């Protein structure tokens, strides 16, 4: 079986920096035309100037003659000024601003502590400039059960936010619950969501199957099966509000397999194969291309890619790990056999 589709983009990607950047960037560039690059480095990318220089490092890490385009983002902080949004828009290289509630996930310690108290002028400027706000949608209150944090975020932050700024474009990143699906589907304003391969294919049992599975640990954490099914139904329904965002988040093996392992799943090299599997199993391969290649650029107001890729059913084994100079990265589904392969046309 073979499928030719418009080249996909990845609307949520972690490329890291230094050696790790060199190890992972070619994997994304091999399949995707563009990617929204997350700004949660240490230190985080909080200014347009930093985004411009990070973009240069990414371009240097790509193979020769590669047309992959990194679309940069800024990391929202309590102290960001509306002026920065104007600079970002003018630069032509920054395409969104990312909200990490302080303490919610990897490298979020410099994130926002009080969105409505500190960030309204910036958010208003973003609405004016049509600059999307991307959200890691979880509350950080330790009294809220970790499996309920996305739902609580929708109720306490997202709903009030979209009511206050109905013009603001908002992308709920890496959605994990039926509650998020319902919020995105039912709200009439410019709200969309990215969906990862792990939240389409795995439920929370995968964290504990045969012992603790650190390579299935990411944030927001995997949820129960009913939530997974709701997300599969949403993306395979053909709704334009859901699009591909791998959240591919590499950490070197030693930082995953230890007493306090990092959150993040490395999926870039296998993501397209996994999305194809999900759509095939749902009998919805005809809806795959809109999810991978149309809905994202349409929401961001960018042109769709012109080039095509071909996906073919031909079994292959996911590598056990990807070595680099000072470590190795274990991908999602390491050592497993997958059916779909991607070829550039």
Ligand X SMILES: NC(=O)N[C@@H](CC(=O)O)C(=O)O
Q: Which stretch binds Zn ion (CB under 5 A): 44-52, 103-111, 141-149, 325-333?
A: 103-111
334 is a site residue for ligand X (CB under 6 A): no
Crossing angle (nearest 10°) for helices 82-91 and 120-129:
30
**With respect to ligand X, which residue has the nearer C-beta, 120 or 144?**
144
Q: Is 247 an annotated catalytic residue? A: yes
> Hey, what long-range contacts does 99-103 have (CB within 8 A, 24 or more apart)?
99/133, 99/134, 99/135, 99/136, 100/40, 100/75, 100/76, 100/136, 101/136, 101/138, 101/139, 101/140, 101/153, 101/157, 102/140, 103/140
Q: What is the DSSP string of 149-205?
A: HHHHHIIIIIHHHHHH-TTS-EEE-S--SHHHHHHHHH--SSEEEEE-HHHHH--GG
149 is a site residue for Zn ion (CB under 5 A): no
Annotated active-site residue in 14, 27, 151, 223 = 14
105 is a site residue for Zn ion (CB under 5 A): yes
Annotated active-site residue in 169, 227, 247, 277 = 247
DSSP state of 216: G
**Partner interacting with residue 218 (select from Zn ion, ligand X, none; CB below 5-8 Å by kind):** ligand X
Q: Is 174 an annotated catalytic residue? A: yes
Annotated active-site residue in 9, 10, 31, 136 = 136
How far, CA to CA in Å, does 54 sit from each of 39, 59, 90, 124, 325?
9, 9, 17, 26, 21
**With respect to ligand X, which residue has the nearer C-beta, 73 or 239?**
73
Taking the complex as a whole, the smallest distance from the CB of residue 294 to ligand X amounts, in Å, to: 24
How far, CA to CA in Å, does 34 sit from each of 293, 304, 329?
10, 10, 22
Q: Is 215 an annotated catalytic residue? A: no
Site string for ligand X, 23-62 (x = CB under 6 A): -----------------x----------------------
**With respect to Zn ion, which residue has the nearer C-beta, 87 or 144?**
144
Cα angle for residues 300, 304, 306 (degrees, 5° grid): 160
14 is a site residue for ligand X (CB under 6 A): yes
Residue of the chain from 125, 247, 252, 289 that contacts Zn ion (CB under 5 A) = 247
Closest to 309 in 3D by CA, of 275, 338, 334: 275
Position of minimal CB gap to ligand X: 264
DSSP state of 68: -
Give φ, ψ of 16 to 5 degrees: 60, -165
264 is a site residue for ligand X (CB under 6 A): yes
Interactions with ligand X, residue window 82-141 (CB under 6 A): 105-106, 136
Cα angle for residues 107, 110, 115 (degrees, 5° grid): 120
256 is a site residue for ligand X (CB under 6 A): no
Q: Is 10 an annotated catalytic residue? A: no
Total length of the chain: 345
Taking the complex as a whole, the smallest distance from the CB of residue 117 to ligand X amounts, in Å, to: 23
Site string for Zn ion, 109-148 (x = CB under 5 A): ---------------------------x------------
Total Cβ atoms within 10 A of residue 216: 19
Taking the complex as a whole, the smallest distance from the CB of residue 40 to ligand X amounts, in Å, to: 5
d(CA 110, CA 8): 32
Residue of the chain from 9, 84, 150, 247 that contacts ligand X (CB under 6 A) = 247
Annotated active-site residue in 9, 10, 12, 110 = 12
**Residues at the site binding Zn ion, with contacts judged by CB under 5 A:** 105, 136, 247
**Residues at the site binding ligand X, with contacts judged by CB under 6 A:** 14, 40, 105-106, 136, 218-219, 247, 249, 263-264
Q: Which residues are catalytic?
A: 12, 14, 98, 136, 174, 247
């Amino acid at each position: 079986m073979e499928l030719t589709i418009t080249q996909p983009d990845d609307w949520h990607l972690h490329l890291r920096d230094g050696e790790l950047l060199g190890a992972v960037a070619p994997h994304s560039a091999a399949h995707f035309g563009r990617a929204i690059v997350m700004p949660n480095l240490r230190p985080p990318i909080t200014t347009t100037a930093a985004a411009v220089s990070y973009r240069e490092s990414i371009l240097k890490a790509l193979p020769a003659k590669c047309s992959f385009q990194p679309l940069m983002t800024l990391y929202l902080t309590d102290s960001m000024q509306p002026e920065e949004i104007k600079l970002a828009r003018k630069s032509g290289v920054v395409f969104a601003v990312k909200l990490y509630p302080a303490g919610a996930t990897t490298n979020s310690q410099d994130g926002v502590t009080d969105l409505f108290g500190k960030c309204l002028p910036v958010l208003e400027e973003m609405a004016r400039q049509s600059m999307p706000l991307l959200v890691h949608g979880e509350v950080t209150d330790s009294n809220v059960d970790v499996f309920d944090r996305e739902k609580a975020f929708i109720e306490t932050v997202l709903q009030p936010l979209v009511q206050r700024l109905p013009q603001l474009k908002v992308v709920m990143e890496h959605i994990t619950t039926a509650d998020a699906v319902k919020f995105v589907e039912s709200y009439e304003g410019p709200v969309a969501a990215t969906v990862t391969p792990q939240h389409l294919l795995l439920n929370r049992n995968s964290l504990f199957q045969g012992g603790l599975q650190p390579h299935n640990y990411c944030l927001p954490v995997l949820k129960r099966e009913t939530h997974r099914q709701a997300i599969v139904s949403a993306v395979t329904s053909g709704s334009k509000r859901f699009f591909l965002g791998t959240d591919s988040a590499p950490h070197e093996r030693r930082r995953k397999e230890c007493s306090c392992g990092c959150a993040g799943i490395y999926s870039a090299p296998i993501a397209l194969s996994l999305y194809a599997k999900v759509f095939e199993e749902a009998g919805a391969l005809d809806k795959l291309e809109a999810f991978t290649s149309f809905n994202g650029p349409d929401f961001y107001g960018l042109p769709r890619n012109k080039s095509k890729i071909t996906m073919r059913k031909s079994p292959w084994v996911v590598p056990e790990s990807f070595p680099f100079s000072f470590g190795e990265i274990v991908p999602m589904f390491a050592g497993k056999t997958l059916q779909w392969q991607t070829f550039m046309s």
